Each structure stands twice: as C-alpha cells, then as structure tokens.
A = this chain, B = another copy of it.
Amino acid sequence: MLEEKKIKKWLAENKKKGMNLLQRLVQEGSIRGNESSAQAIIIEKCRELGLSLDIWEIGEDDLFTHPVFCSDRKDFSGNPNIVGVLKGAGGGRSIILNGHIDVVPAGDRNEWKHDPFSGHIEEGNIYGRGSTDMKGGTVSLLLAIEAIINSGIQLKGDVIFQSVIEEESGGAGTLAAVLRGYKADGAIIPEPTNMKLFPKQQGSMWFRITVKGRSAHGGTRYEGISAIEKAMIVMTGLQNLEKKRNEKITDPLYENIPIPIPINIGKIHSGEWPSSVPDIAVIEGRMGVSPDEKMEDAEKEMEAMLVQISEADNWLCLNPPIIEWFGGRWLPGNLEANHPLIETISECFQKVKQTRPVVEASPWGTDGGILSTVADIPVVVFGPGVTEVAHDVNEYISINEVFVAAEIIALTLLKWCETN
C-alpha cells in the first residue's frame, strides 16, 4: 500500500519532467528511416535510469529469412532498436514493455494547426505526429519504471523495456528483438487504446492491386478501356467483401466497433493525362484480419473475390487484376479475456481510475501479434493515446492520461513482477 502511494506521489511531482520528455520525442519526427534522433533521447533516458542497455542495428540473416519478416527496407543501419532491462531480484514474473518509435508521415501539412513536429502544448494536450501513436505510451512506460526506481522499490521479475523501429511497416523491429532472445511471461504494448484493454488484436496486411486498361484518346474513349472504371469494379468488390467478412464477426469484444476488420483503400493512382484513357490503375490498402483467423485464409478470401468479379467482366476475365501482399503485415493476437495478465492490469486500472476498464478487441494490428505468435508471450494492448487521432492531422495526446496510464502500468508491474 505504501509502495502504491509512493508511486502516485512521485508521478504527481514529476509532471513537468515527463511532459518535457514527451515533447522532445515528438519534436524528433521519427518517420521511417529517421528514427535515430528520437532513439537517442530514449537511450539517454535509459542511461539516466540505470537500465542495462542493448542498442543494435537490426538486419541479421535470421531476421530477413524469418517467415513473419515483413519490410521493404534493405538496410536498417543508423536507426537502432533499443532494449533497456531493469533486472529483478529473482523469483517474480518477467514482463516486456514494448513501444515503437517510428511514426507515419505527417500528411497534408496545411491541415495541421501547428507544425506536425512542433510538440505544441495547449490545454493539457501535446500536439504532433507520433504524440498519440505512440510516444505518449512509451513515455508512460518510462515514467512507470522511473517511478518504481525512484520510490526505492525492488521488483522480483525482470522488466524489459523495448523501443523498436518499423512497427508501422510490419514489425521487423519487434521481430528482431524476439530473435535476439528477448522473452517474458507477459507483455504490455501501450498503443493508443483510449485507456481500453485489448486482449485480442486485429491482424492486418497491406495489399496492392494492379488493374489494367487500354489507353486511347479521351474523345474516342470507347476505343479504349478505362483502368479507372475497372478499378471502380474492384473497389466495389472490396467494399462488398468487407461487409461480408464483418457480418461474420460475433465476438462480443467487437460489439461496439462499427467495422471490426476493415478493408481500407488507402491509395489509388491512375492516369497521367486528362484527355487520355488511363491504361493502368494501382490500388493500395490494408486488410484487417480477425483474431481467430489465419493471415493466409484472409488472403485467399480476397483473391477469390478478385477471381469472382473478374469472371463477371469481359475485360477483367482476360486481364485479371494482379494482387500483391506487400509492405506492412501484422499478425493478429488472441489472449483469453480472463488471463492473469488481463486480470492484473484490470485490477490496477480499477484501483487508479475507480471504475472498471472497457475490454475490447483492437481495431488494428500491433507488434503484439509477433510477440504472441512467434514468441508465445501473453500480450495486452493498453495505452493513453487517442485512437481517433492516430495517423490523422492534429494528432494529440492528453498529458494527464499519459500519467494515469503510467500509474496503472507501474502498479501492474508491482503485482505482476512482485516486490521484495
């Protein structure tokens, strides 16, 4: 009881310190290939905490050849993975605390009220790309560890803090950490869940569909075949497939989620001249995979849909759309809702927030799929970020929630890893 009070007190007294750390991390716009300066801040912090550090550039042979490996990046040098271990006294359960440092591109800068990498603070929120997804969560992890250390508490189990690259593009950073031998009895990933607990995580994978047409002058467009018109058939097929797949989802954890496993059409590019009939269209998107589903089965379902719509179209049956499963790929995760890890974090949540947590299935893939599938680690996804603004303009996070999450995580560590 005394320990929990100490933690609450330390967090209350170190608001400014935590806020500054988060602001500095947001200001280092760590989009893909540019993660090093943000990681430098993480390294500095781990050193200050006295964690035993492991800093390495991923890209070992066993990474590139692993069946789950997914990245179009050939070279990760200069942008390391970081693991900092708080060694326990022994006898307790160990835990991995995993956050990713990479952020998605800022999008249309004109739509941002402030520079996307300003770290602007207003009414208790920090703004910027990566604030919610997921530097705020990473700061919660570091605050939880710091609060425990500075409260003079000694844990029995090891705490393995990880700041990885490549989550947004398929999880090569976390996979590399698993292959390096980092395992534990449980894992928390503080992705932006709006403080909900996600024992199950949607998997997802990227696809690219190339649709052929035949070019012609726009004035005699009937002499050609518009790749855009044919792409519209494919996109309607994707919309119908999404509907069909989601109607089959009955898991109560998805009850409040409008589209449990969405098929997102993220890009379409076609044509180069307004008065020519476009001869090629390229669609790129992301297919959600249910926690109960195999990636391969989801792939087959989409491929079958493409065959079906092609058979119904004179042009497409001779020129079928070509699908590639490229880029990002996140395995689904599936932990039973009454697992001890969920029960522990739920209990601590209730102690801090005086209310029961909402338990749902995550609407997106996380690195949790790799931890659970490849390393057989029980994973819960829980974090302070605002789900709705992840990947959006004017992304922000409530500084207060970062501290509330830090307290819940710190209390979970006390119970899970046990104290001397």
A contacts, CB < 8 Å to B: 104-105, 107-108, 111, 133, 168, 202, 204, 206-208, 214-224, 226, 228-229, 232, 235-236, 239, 258-259, 262, 264-281, 284-286, 288, 327-328, 362-365, 387-388, 390-393
Contacts and interface: CB of A to CB of B under 8 A. Distances in A.
Given A268-B270, A270-B268, A274-B285, A259 B328 contact: no
A264 B392 contact: no
Given A107-B215, A215-B392, A216-B392, A267 B274 contact: yes
B219 A286 contact: yes
Going nearest first, the 10 A-B pairs with the smallest beta carbon separation are A219-B364, A218-B264, A267-B271, A275-B286, A266-B274, A217-B391, A222-B258, A218-B286, A274-B284, A219-B363
Nearest to A133: B217
Contacts of A288: 219
20 contacts: A104-B273, A104-B276, A105-B272, A108-B279, A108-B280, A202-B219, A206-B275, A208-B274, A216-B390, A216-B392, A218-B285, A222-B258, A222-B259, A229-B265, A232-B232, A266-B274, A266-B277, A267-B272, A274-B327, A274-B328
A133 B203 CA distance: 51
Given A364-B218, A393-B215, A273 B267 contact: yes
Nearest to A362: B219
Nearest to A111: B279
Contacts of A105: 272-273
Contacts of A365: 219
A187 to B, nearest CB: 20
B259 A274 contact: no
Given A232-B235, A266-B277, A274-B328, 6 more contacts: A104-B273, A105-B272, A168-B275, A264-B277, A266-B271, A274-B284
Nearest to A388: B223
Contacts of A327: 274
Nearest to A387: B220
A206 to B, nearest CB: 5
A207 B388 CA distance: 34
A387 B221 CA distance: 11
A311 to B, nearest CB: 22
Contacts of A286: 218-219, 274-275
B364 A268 contact: no
Contacts of A229: 239, 265
A267 B279 CA distance: 10
Contacts of A270: 267-269
A364 B235 contact: no
Contacts of A278: 265-267
Given A232-B232, A267-B271, A284-B274, A279 B107 contact: yes
A231 to B, nearest CB: 8
Nearest to A271: B267
Identify the interface centre among A202, A207, A270: most chain B CB within 10 Å of its CB. A270
Nearest to A215: B392
A42 B39 CA distance: 63
A356 B392 CA distance: 64
Contacts of A226: 264-265
A263 to B, nearest CB: 9
A148 B42 CA distance: 84
B221 A262 contact: yes
Given A221-B264, A264-B221, A216 B388 contact: yes
A229 B272 CA distance: 21
A362 B219 CA distance: 9
Contacts of A104: 273, 276
A221 B390 contact: no
Contacts of A221: 259, 262, 264
Contacts of A239: 229
